[in-house]
Amino acid sequence: MLVLKAALGAWLMPLPFSLILICCGLLLRAWGRGRSGAALITAGAVVVLAASTGPLADALLRPLEMRYHAVADAAALVPVPRFVVVLGSGYRPRAGLTITAEVDDTGMVRLAEGIRLLRQIPGAQLVLSGGPVGGETAVAQGYARAAAALGVAAVSIVVIDTPRDTREEIAAIRARVGDAPVLLVTSAAQMPRAMAYGVRAGLRAVASPTGNLSDPNPRIRAWIPTPSGGALRKTETALHEYLGLLAFELGMP
């Protein structure tokens, strides 16, 4: 099921989906269905062009990222959480690279936010989550190495390195911390889905989003529909999360 979800989610992203439309269009033209083929080719081009423009990308992403606000001062929360939980992203050990390069960009942003919050709460523990992705070493193990390199004491680190997706992460965290309140750190776009799973599992979580990709107060030039790879990435992030929320509502594992 996890493989099927990953494959389906990947092929529903704008770039591969548009390539499917274009290839189907080319096949139809080769079979003498020129008008239908041209329509599919045009549709494929429109999909990838629209997905690569900033206004559409931000319009899709902003509602996800603005649902929860960042936590500036963890010590001011009531009750003060004793656990700071960082959800997994990506980690791939490679010879010749430092640990901060082996953890992916998204993961390092999440981890940095987790460490910032941890240092505001004396005696709190940093719970690092994430199992192996694609046969690689568990993400949580990479997080633990990076946290140690950034000065977090080993006694303050808890590693949960078996969950393979967000649903499993939340369930494993709930089993580990019980009814204790936690600060839940993940990317702002993923936070609505993570919190939804937290409510279902009975996890007492305070959302602490980070890594925002959209600008809450965009400049005028941000509304100019100029295609870019950055905008395409934001669109893909938003669509991934909307598909994840749909799967949650449908009760899919």
For residue 2, the model assigns a pLDDT of 59
Same structural domain for residues 145 and 186?
yes
> Is residue 220, in this structure, part of any structural domain at all?
no
Q: How is the beta sheet containing 157-160 ordered, strand by strand? A: 157-160, 125-129, 83-86, 182-187, 205-210
For residue 33, the model assigns a pLDDT of 87
Same structural domain for residues 112 and 170?
yes
Kindly state the tokens that stand for 218.
């965009």
Domain CATH for 82 = 3.40.50.620
Same structural domain for residues 90 and 110?
yes
> Is residue 216, in this structure, part of any structural domain at all?
no
For residue 250, the model assigns a pLDDT of 87
Same structural domain for residues 121 and 10?
no
For residue 228, the model assigns a pLDDT of 87
For residue 122, the model assigns a pLDDT of 94
* Residue 81, number of CB atoms within 10 A of its CB: 24
Helix (H) or strand (E) holding 127: strand 125-129
Which distant-in-sequence residues (6+ apart) come within 8 Å of 200 by Cβ?
Answer: 170
Q: Sign (positive/negative) of CA torsion 74, 195, 59, 107?
A: positive
Task: State phi, psi for 40 to the nearest 5 degrees.
Answer: -70, -40
Same structural domain for residues 24 and 137?
no
The answer to whether 21 and 248 are in contact (CB under 8 A) is no
Same structural domain for residues 51 and 75?
no
> Is residue 184, in this structure, part of any structural domain at all?
yes
> Is residue 43, in this structure, part of any structural domain at all?
yes
* Domain total in the chain: 2
For residue 6, the model assigns a pLDDT of 64
Same structural domain for residues 120 and 203?
yes
Angle 78-83-89 from CA coordinates, rounded to 5°: 125
**pLDDT values of the chain reduced to their tens digit, one per residue, 253 residues:** 555 666 676 778 899 999 999 999 999 999 988 899 999 999 999 999 999 998 899 999 999 999 999 999 999 999 999 999 999 999 999 999 999 999 999 999 999 999 999 999 999 999 999 999 777 889 999 999 999 999 999 999 999 999 999 999 999 999 999 999 999 999 999 999 999 999 999 999 999 999 999 977 766 555 667 788 899 999 999 999 999 999 899 887 6
Which distant-in-sequence residues (6+ apart) come within 8 Å of 103 by Cβ?
Answer: 89, 90, 91, 111, 139, 142, 143, 146
> Is residue 84, in this structure, part of any structural domain at all?
yes
For residue 12, the model assigns a pLDDT of 81
> Is residue 127, in this structure, part of any structural domain at all?
yes
Residues spanned by the domain of 47: 2-64+227-249
The answer to whether 40 and 24 are in contact (CB under 8 A) is yes
Same structural domain for residues 54 and 133?
no
> Is residue 215, in this structure, part of any structural domain at all?
no
Same structural domain for residues 79 and 58?
no
* In the block, residue with structure tokens 């390069």: 101
The answer to whether 234 and 51 are in contact (CB under 8 A) is no
> Is residue 23, in this structure, part of any structural domain at all?
yes
215-to-141, 222, 241 alpha-carbon distances in Å: 32, 9, 18
Same structural domain for residues 46 and 94?
no
Same structural domain for residues 93 and 44?
no
Same structural domain for residues 139 and 89?
yes
Largest CA-CA distance found in the chain, in angstroms, rounded: 72
